[in-house]
């Protein structure tokens, strides 16, 4: 009686779990139990340092045992890729710092506090969400389009590189409430002079495009019944996700100019929403728009950060951070495409 009473009939979180059990046990095989228990347990955060903040919190956080996973990466000696590729990725983002507690450590971060100017010292996010930003490889003079930007964790990461004065960032999102959140985030972290129309605007010749699409947000779907896409009344919306993702990615591909690069990312493990969408996009871009695309390997990036994240082995397209209790980040899928024509 005591136990039966607490079971609601079909809460969306339960539906999500059934769905994942059916699909991911096939897709991930033996890895699934470990991923499952990790997703059903408390996730880990990373603290993205805000370089615009005047308080020096880095030392404090380091004293508590955190480390910046971007600079403290796998020893180059162990890295199977030539040093220049590694440096290439990081030279573009000399200032992005994301602190995490070591493997197996479950300490939590305190909420960030504002400095004298009202800017917050760090932004808490899934540390794996920084990877798509690093993978995007923004360089001087680039225009960047952030196609699905709200609430703005990735926008904020991109802004930290401080090559900001040399490139344009264009952010976009269809959801009004989420765009408000994005605005709020940017104003809590970035000084006003960087938020002028000149720096942040819509342009039509973007070079680098980040397409961080809406997805089944696996972790959220397993843990929160509110606003859950597995709710029965949202079946249609959920079924249409891959189509929406495909359209967004194609829009991103069209917005990039030849030579430009597109980074597609999600926070789901679903093959249909990940590799499936990318494959179709490559195909449709060629057939309908005559655009040739090439997948860019992200292996050097996963090699660099394999001591912080667990990556899914052997994906034929893109890379994926899979949750693990000792490094409970992700899921984050990312795939980079280069526009050849």
Partner 1 sequence: HQSTLRPNHEVSPVTTKPVPELSLSSLIDMGFTDTQAEQIFESVSSVRGGSAAKHILSTLTVLFVLGLNPSSVQKLLEKCPELYTVKEAQLQQRISNLRKLGLVEGSLQRMVAHYPKILTVPVKTVKNVVTFLKERCLFTSQQASDILRDSPAVVLENLDQLEYKFQYVYFRMGVKQTEMVKFRLFRFPLDEVRCRHIFLERRGFYQTPDKKGQTTIVNPKLDSILNTDLDTFLTHVAQATAEEYDVFQKLLAREWKEEELQQGKIEAD
Q: Given 53, 133, 267, 335, which residue is catalytic?
A: 267
For ligand SAM, give the closer residue by CB, 86 or 231.
231
Q: Select from 13, 15, 16, 36 the one that contacts partner 1 (CB under 8 A).
A: 36
Q: Which two tokens stand for residue 98?
A: 């994301």
Q: How far apart are alpha carbons 44 and 212 in whole angstroms?
A: 20
Q: How far is the CB of 134 from partner 1 (least distance, A)?
A: 26
Rg (CA), the chain: 20
Distance CA 42, CA 218 (A): 13
| 34 forms part of the interface with partner 1 (CB under 8 A) | yes
Under 8 Å between Cβ of 155 and 212: no
Nearest distance from C-beta of residue 204 to partner 1, angstroms: 48
Q: Report which DSSP code applies to 206.
A: E
Nearest distance from C-beta of residue 39 to partner 1, angstroms = 9
CB 38 within 8 A of CB 19: no
Among 41, 175, 203, 297, indicate the residue that binds partner 1 (CB under 8 A).
41
Residues within window 77-116 making contact with partner 1, judged by CB under 8 A:
104, 106
> Of the listed pieces 85-93, 178-186, 299-307, 323-331, which binds partner 1 according to CB under 8 A?
323-331
Binding partner at 212 among ligand SAM, partner 1, none, C-beta below 5 to 8 Å by kind: ligand SAM
Report DSSP state, residue 72.
S
Stretch near partner 1 under the rule CB under 8 A, chosen from 34-42, 183-191, 208-216, 237-245: 34-42
| Choice from 8, 10, 21, 91 touching partner 1 (CB under 8 A) | 21
Q: Which of 56, 283, 326, 340 binds partner 1 (CB under 8 A)?
A: 326
Measured between alpha carbons, how far is 295 from 325 in angstroms, rounded to an integer?
A: 31
* Distant-in-sequence, close-in-space partners of 137: CB < 8 Å, separation ≥ 6: 88, 89, 92, 208, 261
Contact in structure between 175 and 202 (CB atoms under 8 Å): no
Which of ligand SAM, partner 1, none does 104 bind, CB closer than 5 to 8 A by kind? partner 1
| Interface pick for partner 1 out of 11, 14, 19, 25 (rule CB under 8 A) | 25
How far is the C-alpha of 329 from the C-alpha of 125, rounded, in Å?
Answer: 10
Is residue 257 flagged as an active site residue?
Answer: no
Partner whose footprint covers residue 4, from partner 1, ligand SAM, none (CB < 5 to 8 Å by kind): partner 1
Q: What separation in angstroms does the CA of 163 have from each of 116, 157, 201?
A: 24, 12, 16
Relative to beta strand 98-100, strand 206-212 is unpaired
Residue 150 contact, options ligand SAM, partner 1, none, Cβ 5-8 Å cut-off depending on partner type: ligand SAM
The residues binding ligand SAM (CB under 6 A) are 129, 148-154, 172-175, 178, 212-214, 248
- Nearer residue to partner 1 within complex by CB, 160 or 328: 328
Give 40 or 283: the residue with its C-beta nearer to partner 1.
40
- Residues 87, 287: Cα–Cα separation, whole Å: 36
- Coil, strand or helix at 208: strand
Please give, one letter per residue, the 3-state secondary structure of 80-147: CCCHHHHHHHHHCCCCCCEEECCCCCCCCCCCCCECCCCCECEEEECHHHHHHHHHHCCCCCCEEEEC
Which partner from the list partner 1, ligand SAM, none does 153 bind, CB cut-off 5 to 8 Å by kind?
A: ligand SAM
Separation CA 87–CA 313 (nearest Å) = 24
The catalytic residues are 267
Binding site for partner 1 (CB under 8 A): 1-4, 21, 25, 32-34, 36-37, 40-42, 104, 106, 324-326
């Amino acid at each position: 009686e005591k136990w039966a009473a607490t079971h609601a009939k079909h809460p969306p979180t339960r539906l999500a779990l059934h769905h994942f059990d059916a699909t991911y046990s096939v897709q991930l095989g033996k890895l699934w139990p470990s991923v499952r228990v990790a997703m059903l347990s408390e996730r880990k955060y990373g603290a993205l340092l805000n370089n615009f903040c005047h308080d020096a919190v880095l030392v404090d956080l380091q004293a508590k045992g955190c480390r910046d996973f971007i600079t403290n990466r796998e020893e180059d000696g162990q890295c199977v890729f030539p040093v220049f590729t590694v440096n290439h990725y990081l030279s573009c983002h000399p200032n992005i710092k994301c602190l995490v507690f070591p493997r197996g450590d479950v300490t939590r971060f305190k909420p960030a506090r504002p400095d004298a100017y009202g800017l917050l010292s760090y932004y808490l996010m899934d540390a794996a969400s920084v990877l798509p930003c690093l993978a995007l490889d923004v360089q001087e003079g680039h225009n960047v389009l952030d196609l699905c930007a709200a609430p703005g964790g990735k926008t904020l990461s991109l802004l930290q590189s401080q090559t900001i004065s040399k490139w344009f960032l264009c952010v976009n999102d269809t959801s009004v409430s989420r765009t408000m959140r994005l605005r709020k985030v940017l104003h809590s972290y970035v000084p006003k002079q960087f938020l002028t129309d000149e720096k942040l605007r819509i342009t039509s010749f973007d070079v680098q495009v980040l397409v961080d699409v809406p997805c089944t947000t696996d972790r959220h779907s397993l843990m929160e019944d509110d606003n859950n896409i597995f709710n029965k009344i949202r079946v249609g919306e959920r079924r249409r996700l891959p189509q929406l993702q495909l359209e967004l990615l194609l829009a991103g591909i069209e917005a990039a100019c030849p030579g430009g690069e597109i980074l597609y990312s999600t926070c789901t493990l679903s093959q249909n929403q990940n590799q499936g969408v990318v494959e179709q996009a490559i195909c449709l871009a060629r057939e309908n728009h005559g655009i040739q695309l090439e997948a860019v390997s992200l292996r050097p990036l996963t090699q660099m950060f394999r001591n912080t994240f667990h990556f899914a082995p052997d994906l034929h397209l893109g890379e994926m951070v899979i949750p693990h209790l000792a490094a409970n980040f992700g899921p984050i899928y990312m795939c980079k495409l280069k526009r050849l024509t």
